[in-house]
Structure 1
Amino acid sequence: MVDDIVVVSTPYVSGYKISRTLGFTWGLVVRSRGLGGNIVASLRTIFGGEIHEYSDLLNQSRQQALERMKEHARAMGANAVISVGFDSSELGQSMTEVLAYGTAVVIEKESAAPSPVRLS
């Protein structure tokens, strides 16, 4: 687990400046629910409502993709990832792909005092 990587969905980190942009980083996971989970999920579709087996699968996959992206960013020399997003798709009838992606950067604490934004 890479805990020292800052991850944000914005193109900046408040209170920090980007000193170097290292490039595109990502983490990819392809998972399958398995036969038992697919059968239970199929039965749940008859009655409607949330299919917890698939929600759990996607939550676990998203977290794992995020961790892999952070590992990749760290290997590139980054201490932050900005503009982070997720994408997912199905492969076949039983597999789900989850991709976490962003821009690997090096950030430094901003030394100047913040100034208000002024519109002229």
Structure 2
Amino acid sequence: SCQTKRTFKDIGASLKSKIGGEAKTSTEMIDEARKIAFQRMIEEAEKVHADAIIGMRYVTSDTMQGAAEIIAYGTAVKTTL
């Protein structure tokens, strides 16, 4: 999931991160992207009739200024016959 920040809120968050403190808009954006990526991973596992995901991980990267990419991945498995 790739999320971009909102411009006016970002200016305040950018200033806050430069002077110290948590940039809430960035934190909220990353949290939302993580939730979306997690849900998409579950949906993909359900498509192949898996009932569990093992070895789940997140990967994050900045794709450009003001955007972050979050990837959720793991191995979809069937634990019951």
Aligned-partner SS, 1:108? coil
Query: Which amino acid in structure 1 is aligned with residue 41 of structure 2?
Result: M
Moved over 4 A (4+): none
Specify which of 39, 60, 63 is matched with residue 35 of structure 2: 63
- Whole-angstrom distance in 1 between the partners of 2:4 and 2:31: 13
State how far apart, in whole Å, the 2-side matches of 1:46 and 1:85 are.
Answer: 30
Summarize deviations over 1:6-51 as a string: whole Å, max 9, x none.
xxxxxxxxxxxxxxxxxxxxxxx00001212221111212320111
TM-score in terms of structure 1 length: 0.63
Q: Take 1:37 and 1:106, find their aligned partners in 2: how far apart are those partners?
A: 44
Identical-pair percentage: 31
Aligned equivalents of 2:47 and 2:80: distance in 1?
18
Unaligned runs of 5+ in 2: none
Alpha-carbon RMSD across the aligned residues, in angstroms, is: 1.4
Does residue 60 of structure 2 align to residue 88 of structure 1?
Answer: yes
Ranges in structure 1 where 5+ consecutive residues have no aligned partner: 1-28, 110-120
Tell me which residue corresponds to 1:12. Answer: none
Give 1:99's aligned amino acid.
Answer: I
The whole-number CA distance in structure 1 between the counterparts of 2:45 and 2:38 is 11
